[in-house]
Structure 1
Amino acid sequence: MVAGEGSAGEYRVFRLRKYYLYVGLAGLVLFFTMTVLCLLADMDDVPADRRTLLAIISTSISGLFTVSSLWLILSYIYSTLIFDGFKIIFRGVLLRKELDLERVRQLRWIGGGAGIIKLKTLTEKGTIYLDNFAYEDRLWIVERLRNQAPESHQEGWDLFCHRIAMPLRRYDPQTIHVPDKNEVLLTRKRWDWLLLPFILLTAVFGLVAAWKFGLPRMLTAPVLPTALWLFLRYSTPRKGMVARKLSADPEQNSQLAFFGWFLLVYMLIQFVNRFVNFPWLDESTLSISVSVFGICVLFWRSYQFDKANYQKRLEASKTSVKEWEAGLKTDFS
């Protein structure tokens, strides 16, 4: 691809997904309720000289999340990404930034998460998080930048193409996903069945604790499970999404088995160190040594695992790039 391909004069405005509005509204209600409950909490069992400090700490934590939720709502209302010819305009709640694609000296394609695109000129830089936008918008953004930015200034396209770009091109919102034997279909109803009973249980527990034991702060018990449910539910597409089972990846299973056995051995050593006295070895010295050694082993194992996966994705990305250039939508694993 070369710079200048495509309709340079096209004007498009992209806004954040409504998911952020829903999460912001839910968080605002939940955490504002927590803040009020913290202020109204009974502190008779707390010494008088510590009540003010405890109230400030409690309300500060919940208040911080309340402000974050409000900021999320404002971001949904005011934040936009605008493509105007060769110009990209980043408009946020407080700031506005403009980049000229013809002056871009570095465009990094990052395949983590839903995809990240970093642009840099001699004087400005900007970051596009594709997860902020709808699937159809993500594909348009990727194609536009891939076509207009000089290929010599683009980095990491092969892996990004394999992990992000080609799945976006194959995505069809009308398609009903049918998982095979190594996959599972994650739907919103699945999260409802898994988490709503737990939320109800924590709510009952909070009510009983507040009524029987005089602990009004326990009324906030269902807040975190509810936040988790909302996050998982509304980050899942309406038609569901297919995810690979852990049992379908032998290397992943081997990695998890190694971590499990290593944790078991570590706990056994700590147990022996706790109840068996070695006169020639200090207890704290052994505990620290085992912990440091364990961390090093886990980091080394994780590095080897990530390196092997990276090589596999690198090989598969060659096919992805060819299919992208050919404009194909054929499936691949």
Structure 2
Amino acid sequence: MHGSPAVSTVNSEPENTVRVFRRGTKEQNGAMISLIVFGIIGLGFIYLMWLIAPVENRIYTLLFIGSLWGLLLSIILWDILVSKYVSVTFHGGNLLLQGVFSSRELKLSEIETIQWSLYSHGLIKVQTPAQTGSINLYYFENKERLWLIQYLRDHFPECRQENWPLFCHQIALTLRNRDTNKPRTPRPDDFLHTRKRWDKLTIVFTTITALISVLTAWHLQQMKYLLLPVLPLCGWFVRYTIPEEGIPVSVSENKYFNETFYFFGLWSVVWVIIYLPFRFELLPAPAGISVGWTIVFIWTSGFYWRLFLMYRRDHQK
């Protein structure tokens, strides 16, 4: 295909029309809520590890766990900065590309080359004799991506555009085939994801964690282990990110959600099952190896890998 995805009214707009593309307040508020929730969970987890760790290793434990959780929080913080600052503006024949740390303004009449890249969800590089700027389509909604693609495709000669056929096939056509103006009509076999369902899942995992904490505190005669149920309780606040009427999800999406949620639960149980025999000295620890640090490293690696799979699946829809 050598044409463009059809988006009406692009060519009919006057040149002096101002158009601004940026993330909405919904995405920014969602990222802020995630930062607060995961921040609370992180502080609780760090404090819990501080209590559990031997006195001589507490500083190292704090630095290690803090750095791992800090990585997750830094990703969320970056998402907030992108939502607040990143924008693309067309005004008075100019193209203003606002980033988190930089801003570039290019004259549309001076653009010599447009490169259509498959990076992420599509990256558009525009080049003038003096400057080069880029538009990452990942930061915008589908209808906004279509408008940007349509505008740049139609307003510049094909000889100035590089890698368009491949970009059109893998990015533009996919966007055009989606109905971006209407919400998906619920199907009879859809599953309704509600706050009540999240409450039930939180209760289940809090109960399991409470049983583990009671047995551990009883065996070691240390009351600090009774704080373990605080961790799943912190996740209860996620319920407020779900609309009161619920979210209809397909059978496949609901299955994947269940698999991911149970993975985190079972992954944590596996960590406890492996760690406790060494903690209770039921198994001898290998000489020269810190069993606790090794298990935490493996668990954290699995945790971030699953988060990466969730992230990739969510943005491939």
Question: Please, what TM-score do these two structures have when normalized by structure 2?
Answer: 0.56
Distance 1:115 1:44, change over 3 A: closer
Aligned partner of 2:231 among 220, 238, 261: 220
Structure 2 residue matching 1:98: 3-state secondary structure: strand
1:117 and 2:128 matched: no
Aligned partner of 1:202 among 193, 205, 216: 205
> What does residue range 64-213 of structure 1 map to in structure 2 within 5 Å?
64-111=71-118, 114-170=121-177, 171-174=179-182, 176=184, 189=192, 200-213=203-216
Structure 2 residue matching 1:94: 3-state secondary structure: coil
- Report if aligned partners of 1:110, 1:160 keep a CA contact under 8 Å in 2: yes
Distance 1:158 1:198, change over 3 A: farther
Which residue type is aligned with residue 62 of structure 1? W
Distance 1:36 1:224, change over 3 A: closer
- Report if aligned partners of 1:176, 1:239 keep a CA contact under 8 Å in 2: no
Once superposed, what is the RMSD of the aligned Cα atoms? Answer: 4.2
Cα distance in 2, alignment partners of residues 100 and 211 from structure 1: 67
Q: Which residue of 1 aligns with 2:55?
A: 48
Which residue type is aligned with residue 85 of structure 2? Y
- Report if aligned partners of 1:206, 1:218 keep a CA contact under 8 Å in 2: yes
Distance 1:143 1:194, change over 3 A: farther
Cα distance in 1, alignment partners of residues 57 and 234 from structure 2: 26
Question: Please, what TM-score do these two structures have when normalized by structure 1?
Answer: 0.54
- Report if aligned partners of 1:31, 1:63 keep a CA contact under 8 Å in 2: no
Cα distance in 1, alignment partners of residues 130 and 250 from structure 2: 40
Cα distance in 1, alignment partners of residues 44 and 87 from structure 2: 36
Post-superposition CA distance 1:89-146 (Å, at most 9, x none): 1223332122333333332223465433222334433222223222222222111111
Post-superposition CA distance 1:5-54 (Å, at most 9, x none): 76333211111144532441232122211332134226455332211121
Tell me the percent identity: 23
Cα distance in 2, alignment partners of residues 197 and 114 from structure 1: 35
Structure 1 residue matching 2:133: 3-state secondary structure: strand
Distance 1:71 1:131, change over 3 A: closer
> What does residue range 283-322 of structure 1 map to in structure 2 within 5 Å?
none
Cα distance in 2, alignment partners of residues 116 and 131 from structure 1: 8
Structure 2 residue matching 1:41: 3-state secondary structure: helix
Structure 1 residue matching 2:90: 3-state secondary structure: strand
Distance 1:154 1:73, change over 3 A: same
Cα distance in 2, alignment partners of residues 215 and 74 from structure 1: 37
Q: Flag structure 1 segments of 5+ consecutive residues without an equivalent.
A: 244-333
Cα distance in 2, alignment partners of residues 35 and 15 from structure 1: 30
Q: Which residue of 1 aligns with 2:277?
A: none
Moved more, 80-89 or 137-146: 80-89
- Report if aligned partners of 2:22, 2:140 keep a CA contact under 8 Å in 1: yes
Which residue type is aligned with residue 35 of structure 1? G
Distance 1:54 1:100, change over 3 A: same
Distance 1:39 1:45, change over 3 A: closer
Q: Flag structure 2 segments of 5+ consecutive residues without an equivalent.
A: 4-10, 217-224, 253-317
- Report if aligned partners of 2:50, 2:61 keep a CA contact under 8 Å in 1: no
- Report if aligned partners of 1:210, 1:219 keep a CA contact under 8 Å in 2: no
